[in-house]
């Protein structure tokens, strides 16, 4: 099994610029944790500090309770997979996979045996004698993955490893990485800016912004209960409706609702966040339904994604599953959208 991993008060500064601030996180053995955020959010900085490629300005990193912050990268027993594959072009696949074992002094026969076993694990039996240029992008990524786990590292780091692959292959590799990770039980730190990838693969997601942790949670918790407007906007699509609580009533524009039992108190002002799938066509405008006009329609196979314009709330996005008993809406068509306040998330600011 992989070992527990901890970041304690990690900071990294480049002159006056803070690339990472007060980064503290505990990762359980065998957990798949994704660092998710836009460019410049600090996710790769945190990964590189764990890998030993850069030194933190402050704080400590430990694996299984043992500080590793001052250990050189080759002494940390960490595997790493890069987007660029980083395979040796002059070596065949077997020797590429066995290279970490060679660096650890494993004899040829033993490392060839372990390399073949790792290739079988990623469904590349019989590819050992090929050179990297003879493989597809997905096959090269599998080789890189096999090389990263062949020496049974305590922690496996993956830095946007699927970014160069097309959509279908990327989805297939997501499934494969998770299956292999569960089989070998290693701890994984995965870096991506792709929210769909993070939601599909992770046990927990660390959403990052401006060098800080914005929220940590399971994919469902991050999606269903974002803690701030940045997370609500960055992870999935959302609609933010200005709202306030006045005289014991929740007010969204001209709409008035009862304040939920766990809702905000009197005097609160902020936003109500509603995901596109939380809207549904209402039988009529007025009351608590939102009148709007359809601007655009996108077909997504099992669903339709609509962009609408509301005189009161501006641009809205809602999603509707096919087969709901009515025809799809069309651009220019007027409609009304209803929603349940049970699905709403209340955000400050």
pLDDT of residue 286: 57
Structural domains in the chain (count): 2
Return the CATH number at 12: 3.40.50.300
Same domain, 291 and 311: yes
Domain span at residue 259? 237-348
The DSSP call for residue 269 is E
187, 214, 230 - which closes a domain = 230
What six digits make up the tokens of 301? 């196979």
Which string of DSSP letters, residue by residue, matches 35-50?
EE--TTSSHHHHHHHH
Which string of DSSP letters, residue by residue, matches 56-111?
-SEEEEEETTEE-TTS-GGGS-EEEEETT----TTS-HHHHHHHHHHHTT--HHHH
Separation between Cα atoms, residue 27 and residue 213, nearest integer Å: 14
pLDDT of residue 1: 42
167, 202, 230 - which closes a domain = 230
pLDDT mean by block of 10 residues, the chain; 349 residues: 80 95 96 95 95 95 93 88 83 94 92 93 91 90 89 89 79 86 90 93 97 97 96 95 91 87 88 94 75 95 95 95 86 93 86
Return the CATH number at 249: 2.40.50.140
Same domain, 120 and 264: no
What six digits make up the tokens of 227? 């803690």
pLDDT of residue 316: 97
> Model pTM?
0.89
SS3 state of residue 217: strand
Where b means 16+ CB within 10 Å and e means fewer, 170-186 reads beebbebbbebbeebeb
Sign of the dihedral defined by the CA atoms of residues 183, 184, 186, 188, in that order:
negative
pLDDT of residue 282: 87
Long-range contacts of 295-303 (CB under 8 A, 24+ apart): 295/331, 296/331, 297/328, 297/329, 297/330, 297/331
Same domain, 242 and 226: no
Same domain, 171 and 262: no
Same domain, 205 and 253: no
SS3 state of residue 314: strand
Reported as type and span, the H/E element at residue 237 is none
Separation between Cα atoms, residue 293 and residue 281, nearest integer Å: 12
Max intra-chain CA distance, the chain: 78
Where b means 16+ CB within 10 Å and e means fewer, 258-269 reads ebeeebbeeeee
């Amino acid at each position: 099994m992989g070992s527990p991993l901890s970041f304690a008060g990690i900071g990294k500064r480049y002159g006056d610029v803070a690339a990472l601030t007060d980064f503290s996180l505990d990762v359980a053995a065998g957990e798949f944790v994704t660092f998710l955020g836009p460019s410049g959010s600090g996710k790769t900085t945190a990964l590189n500090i764990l890998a030993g490629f850069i030194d933190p300005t402050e704080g400590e990193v430990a694996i299984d309770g043992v500080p590793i912050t001052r250990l050189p990268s080759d002494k940390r027993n960490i595997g790493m997979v890069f987007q660029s594959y980083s395979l040796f072009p002059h070596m065949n696949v077997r020797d590429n996979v066995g290279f970490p074992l060679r660096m650890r002094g494993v004899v040829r026969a033993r490392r060839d045996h372990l390399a073949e076993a790792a290739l079988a694990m990623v469904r590349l039996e019989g590819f050992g004698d090929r050179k990297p240029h003879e493989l597809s992008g997905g096959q090269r990524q599998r080789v890189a993955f096999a090389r990263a786990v062949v020496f049974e590292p305590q922690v496996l780091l993956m830095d946007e490893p699927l970014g160069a692959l097309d959509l279908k292959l990327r989805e297939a590799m997501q499934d494969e990485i998770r299956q292999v990770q569960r089989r070998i039980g290693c701890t994984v730190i995965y870096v991506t800016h792709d929210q769909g990838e993070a939601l599909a693969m992770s046990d927990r997601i660390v959403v990052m912004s401006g060098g800080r942790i914005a929220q940590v949670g399971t994919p469902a918790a991050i999606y269903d209960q974002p803690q701030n407007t940045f997370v609500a906007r960055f992870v999935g699509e959302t609609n933010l409706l200005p709202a306030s609580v006045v005289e014991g009533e929740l007010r969204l524009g001209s709409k008035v609702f009862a304040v939920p039992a766990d809702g905000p108190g009197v005097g609160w002002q902020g936003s109500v966040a509603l995901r596109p799938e939380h809207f549904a066509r209402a039988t009529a405008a007025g009351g608590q339904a939102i009148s709007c006009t359809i601007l655009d329609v996108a077909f997504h196979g099992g669903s339709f994604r609509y962009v609408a314009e509301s005189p009161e709330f501006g641009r809205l996005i809602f999603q509707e599953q096919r087969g709901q008993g009515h025809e799809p809406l069309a651009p220019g068509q007027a409609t009304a959208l209803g929603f349940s306040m049970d699905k709403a998330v209340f955000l400050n600011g």
